[in-house]
Structure 1
């Protein structure tokens, strides 16, 4: 039998209410899978997403990876030339269930899951939980006995450019000077238009610092912030950028969302204030705050009262140096490569056992 390159489908969605984090961490893993690996066939990667995902996560549209239609959690299309089957399906959905994963087994040799809500149960062969401090013991009795569990910050799914910028950024953040550049990045969808009040508070709190805001193309704050740029020379606004790691390396302080982007800031040791914008961000943001890897604001409603004080606290170089050291210890930015290797090796073992998909 002629072997085809492993076919790996990601089932993930993005929307204004959900944000783009699920798709972005899957895209980080997809890129790692597309890099040369220790196998001879290469890797074919595609996404199956609900309507509106490409608008909420434009980086996926730019990736040139195939994107097919998903009508529900377990009802979706494969690329036309895959023959209706994949070697592996990687699921990153808070709305999917164990029953959905069982249904997918008819269409893939391996079911993999990205999870950070350990109270759920899964029918999967590989589970990735990037939560700092996560442990395989968190999933005892919640996954099949032979499931490969990759839990903890070592498996954080961030893009390779953050690892590439890590040493340069740490050299700077471990030895900080005054705060001259503040980076504001409240997520691709700018939930509730939060970027505008955050940027204004940062400008008012540190009158000598410049503020750089990163937005998605449909961000509610976009028009107001672009208008403010015309009268405030310390403010710049960038839409849908591809060089976030470099911008984090150059910033002195960040204000951002919780969730996956907080792990990106940890890789480069960027001192940051994280605002919890969704319930699923609470646990990880709280853990990082307790560990000193960031300073947390529990909800958008608390930003006005708490953000100026936290900015002034982190204006002190010694406070930022301590936070940078704690953040850098959370993850090194190579989690996607570790997970990609584990998945490809599992596919190879299955093929060696004679379970080659048709």
Structure 2
């Protein structure tokens, strides 16, 4: 029988108030799957590729999806994809049932508490999460992959891990290079507020701000950088692992980007930008993997004090604990589990070793 490659759709959206993190993590999985000779395409809310330039230049087909149950397929694909990977906060189990008309298997990734799913494989990469949390909320035969070991991070982070950890083991001076990365969409224009606070709190440090081309802070930050030589801007960068590896400390959002920093052992302050980030971020803070600020409104009051606590000794302790959280190989682990599921469903592979 002629082998046909697996056809896998990814259903994820980006919005200005949601950010682009869902699509960015799905891109990590898509790249791994494509390297295994899978056919991969995205179905997203209109405008998602504009908000996430990395999706637009990824080379993957991007189709407009109108609603949680809409799953358009590229021309030339079979009538049903082998699987759909769903990364949507607004979907529920009934939507996943509907998607089965267009895909042989349903895989969902979850960051929220309390939702029920009708999927064959569920991924919850949150810190402190376990499969037991999903008893009674997924079908009995659904496989659950839980914990930061399954975080969908780009392979560049795992590749940079050893050198980054070695650099931190040698670091004995106070922080001199601060990386600020609050997400591509810069929710609420928070990047400018943080930049001003850090420049004032750490007068000897270089402050590097990473943001997207449509970030609301960008005009004000360009003006500030013109008069402040210690402030550097990185717009729509594609080498975050390198930049994180070179930073002494970081200030960033909770969620998946906090786990990127953990892979590299980067001491950080995580600012919770959305309710779904709170449980995992606070768990990481309790275990000593990072320092946390619970709300955007608390940034002005709390950030200067937290930066003052970033002594070499505190940074070393944060780095060691952060590095123990995950190794950056979650996309491969999830990808292998997805292909096991797909191959088990396909007639051409069902009776072969």
Q: Normalising TM by the smaller chain, what interval?
A: over 0.9
Post-superposition Cα deviations, 1:114-168, rounded to whole Å, max 9, x if no partner, equal: 0122411111000010011211101001111111111011101100000000011
Q: Give distance in 1, aligned partners of 2:79 and 2:49.
A: 23
Partner of 1:283: 279
Q: Give distance in 1, aligned partners of 2:335 and 2:13.
A: 20
For the pair 1:307 / 2:303, whether they are aligned, the reply is: yes
Q: Give distance in 2, aligned partners of 1:81 and 1:330.
A: 42
Partner of 2:169: 174
1:234 to 230, 235, 249: 230
For the pair 1:149 / 2:168, whether they are aligned, the reply is: no
Q: Give distance in 2, aligned partners of 1:266 and 1:62.
A: 27
Matched ranges for 1:1-358 at <5 A: 1-36=1-36, 42-176=37-171, 177-314=173-310, 316-352=311-347
Deviation at 1:76, TM superposition (A): 2.9
Deviation at 1:84, TM superposition (A): 3.2
Q: Give distance in 1, aligned partners of 2:71 and 2:141.
A: 27
Deviation at 1:355, TM superposition (A): 7.7
Aligned residues between the structures? 350
Q: Give distance in 2, aligned partners of 1:142 and 1:69.
A: 30
The answer to whether the 8 Å contact 1:297/1:303 transfers is yes
Deviation at 1:353, TM superposition (A): 7.8
SS in structure 2 of the partner of residue 194 of structure 1: helix
Deviation at 1:238, TM superposition (A): 1.1
Q: Give distance in 2, aligned partners of 1:122 and 1:96.
A: 9
Deviation at 1:106, TM superposition (A): 1.3
Give TM-score scaled by structure 2 length: 0.97
What runs of 5+ residues in structure 1 fail to find an aligned partner? 37-41
Give TM-score scaled by structure 1 length: 0.95
What runs of 5+ residues in structure 2 fail to find an aligned partner? none
Q: Give distance in 2, aligned partners of 1:16 and 1:228.
A: 24
SS in structure 1 of the partner of residue 346 of structure 2: helix
The answer to whether the 8 Å contact 1:109/1:355 transfers is no
The answer to whether the 8 Å contact 2:19/2:183 transfers is yes
Q: Give distance in 1, aligned partners of 2:348 and 2:109.
A: 25
The answer to whether the 8 Å contact 1:101/1:122 transfers is yes
The answer to whether the 8 Å contact 2:213/2:235 transfers is yes
Give the root-mean-square deviation of aligned CA atoms: 1.4
Mean CA deviation greater in 172-181 or 234-243: 172-181
Q: Give distance in 1, aligned partners of 2:111 and 2:160.
A: 26
Mean CA deviation greater in 12-21 or 168-177: 168-177
Q: Give distance in 2, aligned partners of 1:301 and 1:283.
A: 18
SS in structure 1 of the partner of residue 32 of structure 2: helix
Partner of 1:39: none
The answer to whether the 8 Å contact 2:269/2:291 transfers is yes
The answer to whether the 8 Å contact 1:77/1:84 transfers is no
Q: Give distance in 2, aligned partners of 1:146 and 1:276.
A: 34
Distance 1:82 1:353, change over 3 A: closer
